[in-house]
Amino acid sequence: MNNSTLLGKTQLFWFFVHAQIGVGLFSLSNSIYTYAKTDGWLSLLIAALFVQAVLYCLYRLNKHFPDDTLYTIIEKVLGKFISKFVLVGLIVHFIVIASFVLKGFTQLIAIWILNLTPEPVFLLLFLFTCLTMLMAPLTLMGRVLVLTAPIILLIPLVGSYAFIYGDYLNLLPLGLSDSQGILDGITASLFAINGFITIAIVMPYVEGTPKEKYKVISSAHWSVAIIYIIVFLTSLLTFSHGEMKLLPEPYLYMIKSFSLTLIERLDLIFLSIWSISIITTYVIFVYCGAVGLMRIFGTTRYRVIAIITVILTTIPNLTQISTYQYEHLLNVVNVPSAYFTFLLPLLLLIITKLRRIKGPSSLKKYLFASQYSC
């Protein structure tokens, strides 16, 4: 394949970061604190170690099948019959997560910025912006992800305020939670860290050897893990234990507390800018779901399938559900989704080794040819 059609290592780095960090960032601190208390940072660290283990499995699969996406690897390893069910499960996973990202965004905007505007109005504006990016080739999407990278860097930059003026006594006591509380904290963080599986869809279309890709992905993963830990610690440093139990988005409330001479409500400005990051996260999940639907239906009409995927993610968002119902549904989906995405790469790797399946394939041009089809 021509190198001009391949993603660069920098684009791969930010693809992973954007897939991981999205709307779940703001509620992360409260979700983990509910179970793990001040030891929430330990839950995040352990969750990061689990993700690193899965990334290693994906690296070994990519090394064995360098020209295959996760979808084609599933077909090769599990056979045509069983693979259909697994493919459908993976596609449903991407569509469901994209739906939750979309619903989380609309609720966030409705609560913090446009509380008198009907949700369908800014939902349509959001989807129109997403479609513009979604219709572009993967390489162009990669460039947009790099271009919007400074938005991600705002998180630790803004959080540095808490490390200067925060109350470090709020970090105590250490070791307050038992092992069950820490494990529950890991479960609570799943929505914020479940984007790692998307990397297996674009791995064949990245320049470099499998080992080089693995190093880039690992560095991106630990960058995300550090950002999450910073967000959690800044929330603890800013708010007392009683306040942490009450605030659904502690990080946003911390920004809201900032006050400048010429600018008020910095949280509104931050959310407006952060919307771009949520757009990229949503686009990545829709893209991965659309690629899977293309495999299922055996078509190369990417743009048509992408529009259908967007519609599928929008339908659940047309229903009126409260914030409490949204969080409940999120908790219901989190656990099976996590088991699926964590265990799938491991099972595929084990079966590949046991059956001694050979690679590579000749399907590398499949997706990029489809990018330009209507």
Question: Which band of pLDDT confidence, cut at 50, 70 and 90, is reported for residue 322?
Answer: confident
> 333 with 96: CB under 8 angstroms?
yes
For residue 239, pLDDT beyond 60: yes
Dump pLDDT digits (tens) for 4-22. 568 999 999 999 999 999 7
pLDDT computed for residue 265 by the predictor: 82
Dump pLDDT digits (tens) for 323-337. 778 888 887 888 888
pLDDT computed for residue 333 by the predictor: 84
Domain limits, the chain: 3-370
Residue 301's CB is within 10 A of a number of other CB atoms, namely: 14
**Greatest extent of the chain over all pairs of C-alpha atoms, in Å:** 67
pLDDT computed for residue 320 by the predictor: 78
Q: What is the amino acid identity at position 17?
A: V
Rounded Cα gap, residues 254 and 245, in angstroms? 14
- The pLDDT of 92-119, averaged and rounded, is 90
For residue 80, pLDDT beyond 90: no
Calculate what percentage of the chain has a pLDDT beyond 90: 60
Alpha carbon distance, N-terminus to C-terminus of the chain: 22
- The pLDDT of 264-292, averaged and rounded, is 92
Q: Which CATH superfamily is domain 3-370 in?
A: Amino acid/polyamine transporter I (1.20.1740.10)
pLDDT computed for residue 364 by the predictor: 44
The better pLDDT of the pair 36, 193 is held by: 36
- The pLDDT of 107-124, averaged and rounded, is 87
pLDDT computed for residue 360 by the predictor: 55
Rounded Cα gap, residues 123 and 110, in angstroms? 10
**CB burial of residue 316 (10 Å; 0-12, 13-18, 19+):** middle
